[in-house]
Structure formats: C-alpha cells, structure tokens
Structure 1
C-alpha cells in the first residue's frame, strides 16, 4: 500500500505541483475514512468506478501519443527495441528477459488469487458459480490493463524519440516515475480537462488499492484476533472495532509512505521487490499445506521464515549496497531538447510554470545537453565482476518472488521431515484433484450447493477454506 501511494503521489507532484507529503496525507486519510464508513460494499463499488476512470486515462495516453507520432507504424519504428521478446538468455541478472518474465512471475499471479483482498471478494458472492464467474470476468480485465501499461511505456518512448528528446537521458526529469505525468502535460496541454482525467486516473489506481487492502486488514484482524478472544461480542461492537482498525492501519500506511519516499528507483521495482518477500513464500505455504500430507506446522513455519529472510536480504542488498544500478535500454536522441529549457529550470517542481510561460522564450544556447543517439545502449557496467556478492545483489527483482517460493518449498519439506508428524489430518483441508477439480468442473457435484446458495449445506465439498478458528 505504501509503494502504491508513493508512486501516485510522485506523479501528482508533476501534474499538480503538490509535494508528495501533502498527497500522501490526503490520500491515506480520505481512503481510511470512506473505507471505515462504507465497508466492503463501498470498496467494491468505488473500485468499479475507479477501474473505468483508470482505463479511460490510460487509453487516452495511448491514442494521443500514437496520433502525435504519426501512427502505429512510426511507434514501432521508434520503439522497436522495446518490443523485443526474443531474449532467451538465462542470466538472472538481466532485468527483463523471456525466462524471468514468464516463469519468474508465476508465483506473483498465484499470490493474487490467494491473498486476502481476493478471498474477501470470493466470499462476498453467493455461490460457487458466481465465484467462478468472478475469475472469468476479472482475468481479461487484468491482462488488458497490464498490456496497456506495457504499451504505454513504449508509446511514450516513441513520442519523445520522434520529438528528438529523451527527457530522462537529457536530465529534464531525474525520476523515472515522473516520465508518464510529464508526458501527460506535454500531450494534453492544448486539450483542457484531459490532464485532469489523468489525475483522476492516478487517484483511482491509488485509492482502489488502498481501500481494498485496508478493508482486508481490518477484516482479518477482527476474524483471527478479536473474534477468537471475545466470542460474546455484539454485532454493533464488532463493526465499530473493524472501523477503528481501518483507521489504525491507514496511519501505519501513511508512516511507511513517508519512509519509502527515500528509496531510489522505479516504484514498480520497489513494489515487486518488497512484495517478493511475501508472495512467493505465502504461495509455497498454501501449496504445501494443501498438497502434502507430510508437511508440519513447524516445518512450514521454518520454511516461510527462511524464504522471507532470503528475499529481504536480496532486496536490501540490491537497493542499499554499492552495486551499480541496472542500465536502462538504449536511450533516445537528445539533440532537440532545447525546447524544454535548461535542465535545472525544467525540473519536476517547475513543470507547470514552464509549460504555460517559458516554452516560447527558450533558445538553443540555454541547453547544455548532449546529442547522443539511440543507436547504442548505455554502457553496461561489469556488475558482479568485483565479487560474488555483487552478482547476487544484481539478480533481477522479477525473480525475487520465485526465489522465495523455491526456498520455502525446499526448507519447508526438509524441516517437516525432521519434525514430528501430526497424529490426525483433516481431509477437507487437503486438495483432491478428483474431488475439487474433475468432479467440480465436469460432473457438477456442487450443483445442489450452487442452487440454494447456502454454504452451510455444502461445508464438506465447497467450504473447505472455512474461516472458522478451528481450521
């Protein structure tokens, strides 16, 4: 939640000129208040509207940038190296290549179906058919949004290459997270309202994630901590306590967001890196618990801690050691950057003032930029040549989740073999391929459950992931 908030607030600094601490304060307070008042129903309905606004903003950027470049042919002409998907090099220090993006992200996708916000939505529907429909509908949306996000980067690179100015290479912006908002001000400066649409798009992305996770944290705290110790609590008391926990977690997010402002690099890399501490090991915990009878509580706990610790060590080493930053792809031309003025005057905090007052007064002599072309990539430093530790710290963040997953599996199995096995096993908590997959999909064994929509009548077959304390 903190990384999403920071990414949104850095972008809004470019568009609105508001310092990040101000938007962090506003976003966390507003989200915590409406989530605590409205509960899961408010979260889901606001997410629907926010999805529409977010998608509209992203599509607007794609359409306008492709028009200004001169069509899709020119987009591919200027950004064809961004569309290269034929790198099959197995080197784990390469940030984006076929194996890391395909295999390394499997656990990240699995985690999204197992995490509390997803399960909370699954349990909010009436029956198994609706739960399946939820996934069938949501999956194409998720894939589409991801593809649009990838294309957005390539389209904007083509846009600035066609203009003859790579704004990141030229130093006009010094934060990679500011590329898109800077481009929005450039693209829509003659279309009133569209820059505001982008601001709403950013806000929607940040608010939807915050509200979903705050609601989930509050629910799981009440269910697993408060309800267990205070079983006689009345409904109105539990509701009030859940609302207080939303505000409590909102304040924690605010503090973490202020801390994350000082972490360098892309927000996406920081987010996926830190998420790798949990999503891979948690996926391993679920899969081992569901599929392996020999796994013990002690064994899987040891495996989980080892997986989280290893990934956290990699994250801290890659972000705070003296390992050189990973080089970007081949940069675009910078010989036409005079239009943006002196690099020290066109920084993020002066972007709005520049666009509305300084464009027509800049001259070529004001700009000390280089005239490098995009014909060759920036020279890659010999990361890892100095020591083995540097090589380890240079592993791409895309693989962190998968590394945590494999570590938890191996250590969890080994530790379970060395600890005492449970005397009894609840068969409902084990995954049966025949019962839960084949019968469910092809023989309609849950038909009776789905028709009446009552979970208590389907406990043995459907509700084996019950939230009751005993399980």
Structure 2
C-alpha cells in the first residue's frame, strides 16, 4: 500500500525502453552535430559553437547545466526534510541574473574571450591566471563527481543495476557527444534533457495529487507538518537556511557560478550578439524558477504521502538522496515506462552537467595551458587535442565519483564546493573589475588568503557538521508504517552512504565546531569573496597601489573612452590626449560597431589609431 513503507517494485521492460531511448537520443545529438559540422574543425567552432548561438537554446542549456541530477534527487529531499526555505532561491536567481547580464556579460563579451581566466592575465598576470584556472579545474572535477554519483545511486536504488556500471555508462555517453559534437552538441542535448527533467517532476506531482486528493491537500499536509515556514528572518549566520543565508549568501554563490564559471560563461559568449547573451540569462532565470518550484513541490508531494511513515526512519532507504527514487517506484510502478521517465530525468540532468563540465574543462585547458606552451599549433592539431582532452576529463570525472559517496547530502556538498572555491575567485574578479588600485601582488595574496579561509571553514564543516536547531531538520513519523516492515530497501552498494545530518556523531568536537565550523554553507562564498577583496585591497595599498604606467579601461566595469589614462600622471595623460586627439574615440566606436567583440587596446596601440 502506498505510503506505508516496505519494499517496492523494480524496473519493468518499458521502463528500460524509455530510459534507454533517452540515452540513445542524447548520444544521437552528438553524432548529428558531428556529421553536420564535420567540415568545421576550428577551436572556436568546437568550444563556442562558432559564436552563432541564439538566446532560447542557450538559456535552456544554462538552466540544465546546474539543474542536474543533484537537483532532481536532492532538492525534493531538501523540501521533505527541511521545508520550503530552499524556495527562496528564486530571489537569488533573480539577483544573479541581473548582476551577470548587466555587469559581467558586457565585459566578457567585449573582450571576446574563450576562457574566463584570460581576464585574470589581462588584468593581473599569467601566474594568477594559471592559479585561477587550476582552482576551477579542481572544483569542476569534484563537482562533476558528485553529479555522476547522484543518479547512479538512483539507478542502483530502483533497478539494482551495478553502481560502477552506471557510473561508467554516464561518463562514456557524455564523452561520446562532447568529443564528437563540441559545444553545439552539448547545448542542443541540454535542451532535450531540460524537457525530460521537467516532465519527470510533473509525473511525480500529478500522480501524487491523484493519490492525495488534489494539490490543495498536498499543500495542507505540508503546512500541518511545518514544511511551509520559509521566511525565517533570524540573522544568525550559523543557521543552515534562513532568509538572509539564502538571499544574501545564496545570491553571491549563484553569481559566482554564472558570472565567472567557465561552464556558464562559455555558453553566453557563444551567442551571436550581446542582446542574445543577456536575453539568455533572463530566460534562464525563468527556467530556474520553474525547475526549483517543481522540485520543491515534488518534495512536498513526497511528504504528504509519507507523513505517517518516513522511509528513512523506517530503514526503507539508506540515505536521504534515495527518498525520491523510492517514492517513484512506490507510486508510479503501476504505469510502465513512467518510472523510466523519472530515472531518465535524473540521468538527463547528469548528462547535461557532465557534458558542460567536460566541454568547459577542455576550453580552459586548451586556452590557458596548451596554447601558452605551444603557440604554433595548427587548428587541426588543436581540434585533435580538444577531442583527446574530452576523453581524458570524462574518465577523470568518473573516477572522482567515488569521492562523492562520502560527502553526505549531495545537494549541500555540491553547493559547498562552489562556495569554497568560487568565492575567492569571484572576489578576485570583483577586485580587478571595480578597483583600479588593485595590483597583481594584492590580487594573488587576496586570492590565497580567501581560499585558505574558505577551505578551513568548509573542510571543518564536513568533519564536524552542525547539529541541533542550526540545521532546521523537521520532525517525521513512523506511526503509519506496516508492523512487518523495517527491511532495508537499498541495493548492495560498493560504498557506504553517509548518515543523515541528524544522525551525525557529536563526539570529540573542538571548540570551533559549534561556531566557526557551523557557519551556514551558503556563506562560504560570501566569506571568500569579501576576504579576497579586503586582503587584496590592503596588500595592493601596501605595495604601491595602481602605479602602473597604463590602465586599460576595457578591463573595468565602468569605463569611458578616456579611462585609458586614469592611472597615468596628469602630464602623461595630457601628452597622450594631445597626440591622439579625437581619433581614439572614433576608432573605438568604429571597432565596436563593426563587431561586438574587439581586441583589447593598451595606450601604445591606442596612439596608433
């Protein structure tokens, strides 16, 4: 009987058919793009789709890239266990979209970059660029390991398929269409996978509404169970989710993901015009709202069904991230093919994120390392290097999936990784974009200082997780479970899942465990950003500030045509202005109108216009 615990059905033949059809369809997109673009072997075509993409597919790809299998599996479990506070991310998504579209897009689009980290060399130096790229590679490989593990766990839970077999299959499919089709294959596959993800959520909600007597009953049950108390205005930074941690800390975290993360930047700079690039971000915002809303309501549906028999407390599942797969087989197994659709949804989210990560990793490796070391490589050689690196990073990400098995809740672990590494990087970019006095020494020391700080608190929080009322864990019940139940539903796994947050041991906790290490994971990014900027500005001031002879105004957010001379002395600026006259302005305007992207000009080049 639904909602009373115990073993549930497994995959039927039609479920396997639906699931396999999705995977084959994804691989088919890569093959189609490879055949269609077989004559286009340039690096720009492979990594940026020839910079001819339009807003709608790019927007769907942006949404799918980080609305992964982690979202499909982790977000409903979040709503079930902690309530709807996570829904407040709709505010963070709006702030992120506006900041990225109006501040970062014009800058990156104007510079015509392929790797986000090219900016760091333009503004600071090559050493900082290499460090930034290396941090991104480490972060992305770790995150992608989590993304691969989450749906593999779901498949193992529902079908009993070998966990390692699923992991390898995920990586191989992604490697196939990334290697053959490049960014175009990734984007168009994301479009298809986004539709499948949303369909999976709708299937769960629709069936749950039928079983419970309507959406109103689901909402009523959620309210009775305390799941609708989203607006907690407690300013305590140690509480896991409050209005402030999500809107302030969450906004900063998502800005770091969309504004400087290569996976996302690579998409909107592939647009044919800056108008398309901005529009893709605002459409993406709507896509994020729809996705997180469906995911949260799926979690509320799950609570309505299991309000009297929690599968986790009843040992029907072994980890919180297995709750939604368990629900799917409990309520949808009577509809052949529908459970397959859900697993395809989780799998689709994974394929989109993994393929995005692989493509972005290839881009930064080629632009920041390969081209720097071997400057005379032909386009054909670069093309083969791109394909080879796609294979390499694909298998590297599969290997990192093992790390994900010991990181607890996949949703929080994934966002924690971004906070710890992206926070200091975002601080470095903001330091360079807004403060002309910042120099290379300040940027480097600030970045390392911010990184040490976030790694300290982030790793400490993994070792000594927060306990008690700081984690906002809501009560559950097992009073309605069948008396004969209590069997563990999980299929044997080569890894042991981490215990739920409420079950984490609280022994031998150091003094910092209930203060510093209990800082909300959503503040990791804000902490890293502020620390990097403050340290960077202080060190820059102590080491001479902006005394360099030239400052290129294209590297700053607010620029005027004569900001090239803002860091020069008055006499130098006057002499240069007399020499160049009005031609500088005319030359820049002509260059802009000819193409939205134009090469950076320093003062010496500007004087030759």
Which of the numbers 520, 527, 535 marks the counterpart of 1:403?
527
Which of the numbers 241, 252, 259 marks the counterpart of 1:107?
252
2: CA distance, partners of 1:186 / 1:227: 53
- Contact 2:208–2:305 (CA under 8 A) maintained in structure 1: yes
Q: Give yes or no for the alignment of 1:294 onto 2:418.
A: no
2: CA distance, partners of 1:88 / 1:72: 28
Q: Give yes or no for the alignment of 1:91 onto 2:236.
A: yes
Which of the numbers 38, 42, 57 marks the counterpart of 2:200?
57
TM, length-normalised to structure 1? 0.82
2: CA distance, partners of 1:103 / 1:169: 33
Q: What do residues 287-339 of structure 1 show as CA deviations (whole Å, max 9, x unaligned)?
A: 11111001111211211122222222222212223764865633232112117
Which of the numbers 311, 324, 328 marks the counterpart of 1:184?
328
What does residue 438 of structure 1 align with? none
Q: Give yes or no for the alignment of 1:29 onto 2:175.
A: no
2: CA distance, partners of 1:433 / 1:155: 51
Which of the numbers 476, 480, 505 marks the counterpart of 1:332?
476
The alpha-carbon deviation at position 168 of structure 1 amounts to 1.6
- Contact 1:32–1:250 (CA under 8 A) maintained in structure 2: yes
Q: How does 1:175-324 map to 2 (within 5 A)?
A: 175-263=319-407, 265-321=408-464, 324=467
Q: How does 1:33-182 map to 2 (within 5 A)?
A: 33-80=176-223, 81-111=226-256, 112-161=258-307, 164-182=308-326
- 5+ residue gaps, structure 1: 352-377, 436-445, 465-471
- Contact 1:383–1:390 (CA under 8 A) maintained in structure 2: no
- Contact 1:9–1:20 (CA under 8 A) maintained in structure 2: yes
- Contact 1:324–1:383 (CA under 8 A) maintained in structure 2: no
1: CA distance, partners of 2:264 / 2:471: 35
- 5+ residue gaps, structure 2: 1-143, 494-501, 562-587, 603-609
1: CA distance, partners of 2:523 / 2:471: 18
- Contact 1:384–1:391 (CA under 8 A) maintained in structure 2: no
Deviates more, 1:164-173 or 1:209-218: 164-173
Q: What do residues 376-415 of structure 1 show as CA deviations (whole Å, max 9, x unaligned)?
A: xx89999999734432112221221111112112112112
Q: How does 1:431-446 map to 2 (within 5 A)?
A: 431-432=557-558
The two structures, once aligned, show a CA RMSD in angstroms of 2.9
Q: What do residues 59-100 of structure 1 show as CA deviations (whole Å, max 9, x unaligned)?
A: 211222122122222212221121212311112221111111
- Contact 1:218–1:242 (CA under 8 A) maintained in structure 2: yes
The alpha-carbon deviation at position 42 of structure 1 amounts to 0.7
The alpha-carbon deviation at position 449 of structure 1 amounts to 7.9
- Contact 1:127–1:449 (CA under 8 A) maintained in structure 2: no
TM, length-normalised to structure 2? 0.64
Count of residue pairs brought into register by the alignment? 419
The alpha-carbon deviation at position 2 of structure 1 amounts to 1.1
Structure 2 counterpart SS, 1:278: helix
- Contact 1:12–1:18 (CA under 8 A) maintained in structure 2: yes
What does residue 427 of structure 1 align with? 553
Distance 1:20 1:398, change over 3 A: farther
2: CA distance, partners of 1:255 / 1:379: 28
The alpha-carbon deviation at position 189 of structure 1 amounts to 1.4
Distance 1:133 1:381, change over 3 A: same
1: CA distance, partners of 2:336 / 2:289: 31
- Contact 1:53–1:200 (CA under 8 A) maintained in structure 2: yes
The alpha-carbon deviation at position 272 of structure 1 amounts to 0.8
